[in-house]
Chains A and B, each alone.
Chain A
Amino acid sequence: MSEVRLQVRNISKTFGVTKALQNVSFDINKGEVHALIGENGSGKSTMTNMLTGIYPMETGKFILDGEEIHPENQVHANNIGVSIIVQELGTLSGLTVAENIFLGHEEKFITYGFRNTQKMNAEANRLLQEYGFTHIKASDMIDNYNFEDRKLIEIVKATYFHPKIVVVDETTTALSQEGREELYKHMNRIRDEGNTVIFISHDLSEILDKSDTITILRDGIYIDTVKSKDVNEEDLKKLMVGREVTGDYYRSDYGEKISDEVVLSVKNVTVPGIISDVSFDLHQGEILGFGGLSESGMHEIGKAIFGASYDREGEVVLADGTHINDITTAIRNSIAYTSKDRDNESIVLNQSIRDNIVMPSLNFLTFGKTPFLNWHRIKEFAKEYAKEMSVKMVNTDQFVSELSGGNKQKVVLARWIGKNSNILVLDSPTRGIDIKVKQDIYQLMNRLRKEGKSIIMISEELMELIGMCDRIILMKDGKLSGEVLRSPELNEQKLISLMV
């Protein structure tokens, strides 16, 4: 019988009228990787944010090793043995690597009010060596390091003091395979030391592979806790969604001929240091996939097409000869773009769902041809497309910041569906999104394709590229490294061989 590390007892939390968690109770043991799964908005992050002091507690209690805890903030949570590695960047620009690692824990380096920077850097360097991150220097500004390295620094920051519980909140979606392996290694180390990892991910195969125990939440309610070895992906989907996930997940058609009609041509596009001499055509009604390693340059393709790459050379030309050199021209010519970095580049978090949906369509939502906005039409427009995308919300006045990741993505898509865009450039459209919303997005893409819309899908998930695209272009070191057509025989190994 394993020893209980954390008892979650009757936890409830509300945001306005939204009940994020309702009377949730379960146990987490010592020496295990305990996965927490559920659809977007099921309450996983709310739960762990309360446990790590990011959100204040409302009702219920956390009992850690027999003692009730009340984390006030992340540092306080660290002090009682709980830490977190978040999905997005959790380090601060303008500080050194060492300052980031010890932020909030500087006391041990302070004598008579003055910080011993040398001692702090030495300690940080020792830790970085110990973790095997020898290329990172403690005294360097953190801004000198890329996203991946900053995540490695976060791993050190969250685990160097051997916390009893480490929450890994959807971190793997932001990492390359190499970065993921590094994270898994440290998750295993934490478990082997007798401590606990709470692991949140939407990748069910990863969950089954890396965790020992799985707790499922649905709409803020506790559903069940199961052993990973006793279940499969289908069982988990059923528990998460509350019914069998039926119908097509990916596209089921094969052998459809791609239209000869080219809607967009990319000619010799170069973005210095990122992509080099990229050329391809996009056809009507086609889903064209882009795959590769995270740093292969594929994410820049979307920006280059949308006119958002400021140093771009080469041409992006529509079928009618229009050159796309800036975002305004792209939108005016019916091109839509959703960024991988949803919160910073696609959504205005502190504005309402309505404002986010109508933003590019305001020119059409006026009283006739006057410049005055027709608020009745604006409200109806937002309501119509939010409903079409099944956004889980109180109403369209709700702030986007209150929505889960999947629902934020639905708002982004609703914006472009409302704009009736003919070319959609979707960069990582299902990143950090649960299985049900993923299915919704795949079905939407398929419907749009059938309506004659053209889609560029950029993704690090090879299976969704294989499942959804008519054609897949692979990238390596900023250049096109291969192209494959849709086929039932296509597999991940074939794509990997072209991208590494």
Chain B
Amino acid sequence: MSGFKNLSGATKGYIVLIALVFLSWAIFKVLTPHNFGSPENLMAYFQASLIATVGAIGFYFVMDMGLFDFSIGANIILSAVVGCQLATSLEMGYLGLVIGCVVTGALVGLCNGYFYVKLRIPSMIVTAGLALIYESIANYIAGGIGQTLPSDMRGLGQMPGNIILAFVTFIIAYLVLNYTKFGTYTYAIGSNEFVAKNMGINVDKFKVYAFILSGAFFGAMAILTISYGSSIVAVTGMSSMSRNFIPTMGCFFGLAFMKYGIPLQAIILGEFIVNIIFFGFISLGAPTAIQDLITGLALLIIITLTTKVSKGEIVK
């Protein structure tokens, strides 16, 4: 036990994360040994998890500043619709898909950040309000019908395209977080905004940057989403909110493992764990309601156990 204590923070973090991956895999492997958890299956779960991982990595910049975004799902849908339209209707192919999704995502992020900074109301409220608008715009552009990506343009939804895209986004996020002043300021603003301001940091500007970066990553997530699933429906009435959950969960892993210095790695493995649990339930044939119940509980337990809060410490 004292040996574990002497390990570096990152090593401890990796050990905990890998143990959680193994534990979640082992539980379902025992329960349903024949149709779950083979190496091929695990690769498939990992590929599926990459979709939300890409969004969660971008979202980490926003959440680490103490902000929130309720327009994740709406952003993904709008970006995917625009990307799909550029790729198909304007016949721009992959270029249209990538540029359409990423630029739209970044613009949505810009709107989120701009209105949050200008209106000076909580980010949760601003983004919830804007989500309705994004949904309506997506629905208008889609003409009320589902958008389907032709089969010859789904390369980014499968190996190796999805891995490459995810890897590129991870490298960008890693470099920005660890090797630019934006990364340092992200932590500084999240730690104490007032002091950060006094250090000459233009807090509002960097918050907007964080939303733009996060939005662009959700755009990348939109590419993977439509490429993997082949189509997307522009829903309205806040139905897009259901897409918020999985990237947000991955982000929670990142925040929980920030103290170990491996937040982005934790997001990757965290999303993998979420997907192992999902696919585990599918293998068991559990009803959706039970799946959601157990998944919610399992994630709460994991985050509670990994986020060691001192007694009496204030948690908001």
Contact = CB atoms under 8 A, between A and B. Distances in A.
Interface of A: 53-54, 72-76, 90, 92-95, 99, 103-104, 106, 110, 113-117, 141, 143, 308, 310-311
B200 A110 contact: no
Interface in B291-316: 310-312
Contacts, number: 67
Contacts of B191: 92-95
B188 A95 contact: yes
| A interface majority secondary structure | loop
B184 A311 contact: no
A62 B183 CA distance: 35
Contacts of A115: 179-181, 183-184
Contact of B188 (A54, A76, A92, A117): A92
B67 to A, nearest CB: 15
Contacts of A116: 179
Nearest to B198: A74
A53 B190 contact: no
Nearest to A109: B181
Nearest to A309: B312
A368 to B, nearest CB: 35
B7 interface: no
Interface string B163-196: 0000000000001001111011001101110011
Contact of B178 (A54, A73, A117): A117
Contacts of B184: 95, 99, 103, 106, 115
Nearest to A107: B181
B312 A310 contact: yes
List 9 A-B pairs, minimum CB-CB distance, nearest first. Answer: A75-B200, A310-B311, A310-B312, A94-B187, A104-B199, A73-B200, A92-B191, A94-B191, A106-B181
25 contacts: A72-B200, A73-B200, A74-B198, A74-B199, A76-B200, A92-B188, A94-B188, A94-B190, A94-B258, A95-B184, A95-B188, A103-B188, A103-B201, A104-B200, A106-B181, A106-B184, A110-B180, A110-B181, A115-B181, A115-B183, A141-B259, A141-B261, A310-B310, A310-B311, A311-B311
A73 B180 contact: no
Nearest to B202: A73
B180 A114 contact: yes
Interface centre among A53, A104, A106, A117 (most CB of B within 10 A): A104
Given A115-B184, A117-B178, A141-B9, 5 more contacts: A53-B200, A74-B199, A76-B200, A95-B188, A308-B312
Nearest to B195: A92
Given A95-B187, A113-B180, A114-B180, A74 B200 contact: yes
Contacts of A311: 311
Point out which of A95, A103, A116 has the most chain B C-beta atoms below 10 A from its C-beta: A103
A143 B200 CA distance: 22
Interface of B: 9, 175, 178-181, 183-184, 187-188, 190-192, 195-201, 258-259, 261, 310-312
Contacts of A99: 184, 187-188
Contacts of A310: 310-312
A217 to B, nearest CB: 23
Contacts of A54: 198
A92 B201 contact: no
A92 B196 contact: yes
B9 to A, nearest CB: 8
A53 B188 contact: no
A73 B198 contact: yes
B293 to A, nearest CB: 32
B199 A75 contact: yes
A99 B177 CA distance: 13
A252 B60 CA distance: 61
A141 B8 CA distance: 12
A95 B195 CA distance: 13
Contacts of B180: 110, 113-115
B61 to A, nearest CB: 13
B192 A92 contact: yes
A90 B187 contact: no
A153 to B, nearest CB: 14
A143 B199 CA distance: 19
A340 B181 CA distance: 35
Contacts of A143: 259
A398 B195 CA distance: 23
Max count, chain B CB within 10 A of own CB: residue among A54, A115, A143: A115
A142 to B, nearest CB: 9
A91 to B, nearest CB: 8
A117 B179 CA distance: 7
A308 B181 CA distance: 39
A143 B258 CA distance: 12
Contacts of A92: 187-188, 191-192, 195-196
Contacts of B310: 310
A53 B199 CA distance: 9
A279 B187 CA distance: 43
Contacts of A72: 200
B43 to A, nearest CB: 33
A103 B184 CA distance: 8
